[in-house]
Amino acid sequence: MPEFFPRLRQGLQIAPTTYQGRRALLVRDCLGIIQDPVILQGEALSIIGLIDGRRNITDIKLDFIRLRGGVLVEADFVESFLSELDAALLLEGPRYRLEKDKLIASYLREPVQKASHAGLSYPSDPAQLKAYLSSILELALGRPLPALDGAIRALVSPHIDLETGKAIYGQVYQAASGLRPQRVLLLGTGHSLEEGLMSLTEKDFETPLGLVRTDKNFVRKLKSSGGPGVASHDLAFRLEHSLEFQLIFLQHLFGSDFSLVPVLFGSFEPMLNRARRPLEIPGLAEPLSLLGEFAEGEPGRTLIAAGVDFSHIGPKFGHRERASSLLLEAKEHDRRLIGACLRGDIEGFWTESKKVGDRYNVCGFSSLACLLEILPGAKGYLLDYAFWQEEETQSAVSFAGIIFTK
């Protein structure tokens, strides 16, 4: 019988918290297979980090005993805990894959990607939503744009909570208010993307502000060009906010008559030492080339919008250190990445992340790297940059607003 190397499944967000006055871990499922958050406490706090797919059960037991200072555990404690995690669909395994396959099959039958954050992150009532978005745009009034060399071709906006990032959302979309795109290439972070490096969907997108049609023919062309680089299904879109938050601003400014090409990118971290830029990643060169042709094909009618955040630091994002201890170096890393973006220096952008091994969890790295490939020769302008700190978890996230001209 083969050895069992248990591993936590992908698509989980694990954050330190307190529950009933005790330290705890809050586990949320980005895919939505598990509806309610799971609270882990007690011995689980020590053992959860050992379940990494590299240790078998014996290894986990021995390392757990070491963490307890040599104190032995009950003979079946580890097995029992793993069984509980498996039953809760937190482990990679047959139970989780069965439930995931059911969800994929159900989602594939849905013709429309409905807004998953309406009524949660922003008002679901259309009039209230328009008033809310207008109030965000008004924050940027009176803040002049930099002197631009050419027409705006691309926007980089946060995808952090709207209220947290509203000052920068307002600046980015106020800058775009004079545009009239007829088609939008929408790039975002696939927080729950588990397979492939990019995910595509032919679904139309519906928000409280109306229905936006997806350019299905072009999406099909992209799918056929990508091979294994493209995920075999579009489940990553189901609960994703990085595109949704951009779309409501775009609809608020331009209505819903433009066509959409939505693309989610997964992590490129495993590729940092195998390539120097996205075009060198197997399975990405052809779709990126097609996206570049799409972006250049109708200047003035085509807009690229990317919903990305930058560094994620602190215990919530896997660091042992508090965010305050990493803040200065994370800001310097962001500064170098943003500088490379503004220069259109794709290899410099890649090298900076490779140098630190993506230590600061820049979740927008893949989307930004591909944006630089899609729009070569563009010039970037930084509108603003900020860090949001979450005191409860001693963690922090940075985000920025950038516009590109060409």
Separation between Cα atoms, residue 114 and residue 239, nearest integer Å:
9
pTM: 0.92
pLDDT confidence of residue 1 = 40
Separation between Cα atoms, residue 54 and residue 52, nearest integer Å:
5
DSSP assignment string, 4-43: P--BBPSSEEEEEEEETTEEEEEEEETTSSS-S-EEEETT
Separation between Cα atoms, residue 382 and residue 104, nearest integer Å:
39
Tokens 């003979």 found at: 75
pLDDT confidence of residue 2 = 55
CATH class of 112-405: alpha beta
Residue 353: count other Cβ atoms within 10 Å of its Cβ. Answer: 23
pLDDT confidence of residue 211 = 98
pLDDT tens digit string along 340-378?
Answer: 999 999 999 999 999 999 999 999 999 999 999 999 999
CA 334 to chain centre: 16
C-alpha distances (whole Å) from 35 to each of 27, 90, 206 are 11, 12, 22
Contacts of 340 (CB under 8 A, 6+ apart): 346, 348, 349, 352
Contacts of 25 (CB under 8 A, 6+ apart): 14, 15, 16, 17, 39, 40, 41, 44, 45, 48
Task: Please name the amino acid found at residue 291.
Answer: L
Separation between Cα atoms, residue 194 and residue 237, nearest integer Å:
12
Strand-pair category, 38-41 with 22-29: antiparallel
Strand-pair category, 152-157 with 302-307: parallel
Question: For 124, which DSSP code?
Answer: S
* Residue spans per domain, the chain: 12-105, 112-405
Number of DSSP helices (H) and strands (E) in the chain, helices first: 12, 14
Burial of 42 (0-12, 13-18, 19+ CB in 10 A): exposed
Which stretches of 176-297 are DSSP H helices?
216-226, 244-254, 285-297
SS (H, E, C) 225-240: HHHHHECCCCHHHCCC
Q: For the chain, 406 residues long, give each residue's pLDDT as a single digit of tens.
A: 456 889 999 888 888 888 898 989 999 998 889 988 999 998 888 888 889 888 999 999 898 888 888 877 777 888 999 999 999 999 999 999 999 999 999 999 999 999 999 999 999 999 999 999 999 999 999 888 899 999 999 999 999 999 999 999 999 999 999 999 999 999 999 999 988 899 999 999 999 999 999 999 999 999 999 878 899 999 999 999 999 999 999 999 999 999 999 999 999 999 999 999 999 999 899 999 999 999 987 778 999 999 999 999 998 898 989 999 999 999 999 999 999 999 999 999 999 999 999 999 999 999 999 999 999 999 999 999 999 999 988 999 999 999 999 8
